[in-house]
Amino acid sequence: MSRLRVESFTISLDGFGAGPDQDLNHPLGVGGASLHAWALATRTFQKTLFGNDGGEDGIDEDHAARGFRNIGAWILGRNMFGPFRGPWPDESWRGWWGEHPVYHVPVFVLTNYSRPPLIMEGGTTFHFVTEGPVVALERARDAAIGKDVRLGGGVNVIQQYLRQRLIDEMHVAISPVLLGAGEKLFEGINLPALQYACTKHEATPSATHIVLSRQ
Amino acid sequence: MSRLRVESFTISLDGFGAGPDQDLNHPLGVGGASLHAWALATRTFQKTLFGNDGGEDGIDEDHAARGFRNIGAWILGRNMFGPFRGPWPDESWRGWWGEHPVYHVPVFVLTNYSRPPLIMEGGTTFHFVTEGPVVALERARDAAIGKDVRLGGGVNVIQQYLRQRLIDEMHVAISPVLLGAGEKLFEGINLPALQYACTKHEATPSATHIVLSRQ
């Protein structure tokens, strides 16, 4: 059964999943990059993002690595794909990741503004879905051919899927930083009422890792 | 210099400092007791709350024990003293802790309804302060005679002191439980804007401990 998984989604001690004022120079909002220090140090992220052979092993790495295993498609909110709001000004924006994105599988981008698919190098194709989260999930499941679908974020998109109980498993890392403003991952979300429980909890000097599972 | 410290204040993964629907049978709100599993297991809490000689040592214990060192007075919100709201029905309620409370120092209870001091066994006297948080802190500092003042909670009271930057140091434990509803400790609080930073972070299987310090 193809599951919908959130992996390595990181929040601050005060609960924010991204800093405020996202723009071209701050893809994760102001201060948002500090959230991801735990991940950037890992072998998986060093290899995936930078092509480096170094990086750390251990619990942080275990969580980072799991996030890329058995993934056949991704879903992203439009703000994770780019810094623009409203209609596409043109088709020149091709994502934050250059011509060879890190995904290597079909990626379904939720947006209100249609756009033709964007075929990138290395197996990534961005598909733009205007019919909402449920349709995006159906299309991603079809594309994943039996593998799981990874939901990248952002906060608002994760909340939409959580409220519909569509997420099977969700790994959240809590980083030892304070953001003070931005988007709170669990704002207005009653996880026990939605029948999610914390099924794994382990911590390192860099982050506390929790796994929330749908019961 | 006498500092104002929050110690061993515990929140859930989703940010709640107490469960909903506090009453006589649920002093910490429904589900709130599960928050404190990390603390209840420690040598300090076993001794302080139950008079037992057992309990666990280690990082959890270190944080629990620190919370009782060099404390000359406490401040509590009225809801931490009892389950009643509004005017005191009579003077029969003498706290959750029996005739021999765990404090052993003067305790200043913030309330809108005056009441004579309550002298308990073992050195605890409850003083009821109707003049607000700043006056309560002044009185507690006087009573502490050079030692620190510990702010027990609840969430609303901690927020009032945080907004005025009156808290010097704050130890928060994050327990691996979900509450889903209740009072969120950091709701509407921008810690970086108030110039608080995370100065310590360590975790155990039972909790993630952070210390926030005023800069």
Residues of A in contact with B172 (CB under 8 A): 13
B185-214 average pLDDT score: 96
- Calpha distance A185→A178 (Å, rounded): 14
Residues of B in contact with A193 (CB under 8 A): 180-181
- What pLDDT does A114 receive? 95
Contact A107, A126 (CB under 8 A): yes
Q: Which chain B residue has its CA at the smallest distance from A189's CA?
A: B180
> What is the three-class DSSP state of B82?
coil
**Interchain CB distance below 8 Å, B177 and A191:** no
- What pLDDT does B179 receive? 92
Phi-psi region of B87 (alpha: psi -120 to 50; beta: other; left: phi over 0): beta
- What pLDDT does A189 receive? 96
**Interchain CB distance below 8 Å, A13 and B192:** no
- What pLDDT does B103 receive? 94
Q: What is the dihedral of CA B11, B12, B14, B19, to 10 degrees?
A: -90
Mean pLDDT: which of A25-39, B40-54, B114-128 is highest? Answer: B114-128
- Calpha distance A141→A24 (Å, rounded): 31
Q: Which chain B residue has its CA at the smallest distance from A212's CA?
A: B178
- Calpha distance A205→A174 (Å, rounded): 11
Query: Tens of pLDDT along B22-72?
Result: 777 777 777 777 899 999 999 999 998 888 999 999 999 999 999 999 999
Report the mean per-residue pLDDT for chain B: 93
**Interchain CB distance below 8 Å, B186 and A15:** yes
Percent of chain B topping pLDDT 90: 82
Residue A32 exposure: Cα atoms within 13 Å on the Cβ side = 24
Residue B21 pLDDT exceeds 80:
no
Residue B95 pLDDT exceeds 80:
yes
Structure token pair of residue B172? 């928060």
- Calpha distance A94→A78 (Å, rounded): 12
Residue A123 pLDDT exceeds 80:
yes
**Interchain CB distance below 8 Å, B191 and A181:** no
B80-99 average pLDDT score: 90
Chain B interface includes A37 (CB < 8 A): no
Chain B interface includes A20 (CB < 8 A): no
pLDDT band at A50 (very low <50, low <70, confident <90, very high): confident
Q: pTM value?
A: 0.91
More confident residue, B90 or B162: B162
More confident residue, B79 or B66: B66
- Calpha distance B61→B152 (Å, rounded): 18
B5-10 average pLDDT score: 97
Q: Which of residues 123-182 of A touch B (CB under 8 A)?
A: 172, 174, 176-181
A76-98 average pLDDT score: 90
**Interchain CB distance below 8 Å, A178 and B191:** yes
Q: Which chain A residue has its CA at the smallest distance from B208's CA?
A: A208
Query: Tens of pLDDT along B142-156?
Result: 999 999 999 999 999
- Calpha distance B90→B92 (Å, rounded): 6
**Interchain CB distance below 8 Å, A189 and B13:** no
- What pLDDT does B205 receive? 92
Residue A96: enclosing H or E segment and its boundaries?
none
Residue A22 pLDDT exceeds 90:
no
- Calpha distance A27→A19 (Å, rounded): 9
CB-closest option in B13, B198, B204 to A198: B13
- What pLDDT does B139 receive? 98
Picking from B187, B36, B19, the residue whose alpha carbon sits closest to that of residue A15 is B187
Q: Which chain B residue has its CA at the smallest distance from A200's CA?
A: B176
CA distance B85 to chain A (A): 26
Chain B interface includes A202 (CB < 8 A): yes
Residue A95 exposure: Cα atoms within 13 Å on the Cβ side = 22
- What pLDDT does A32 receive? 75
Query: Tens of pLDDT along A165-188?
Result: 999 999 999 999 999 988 999 999
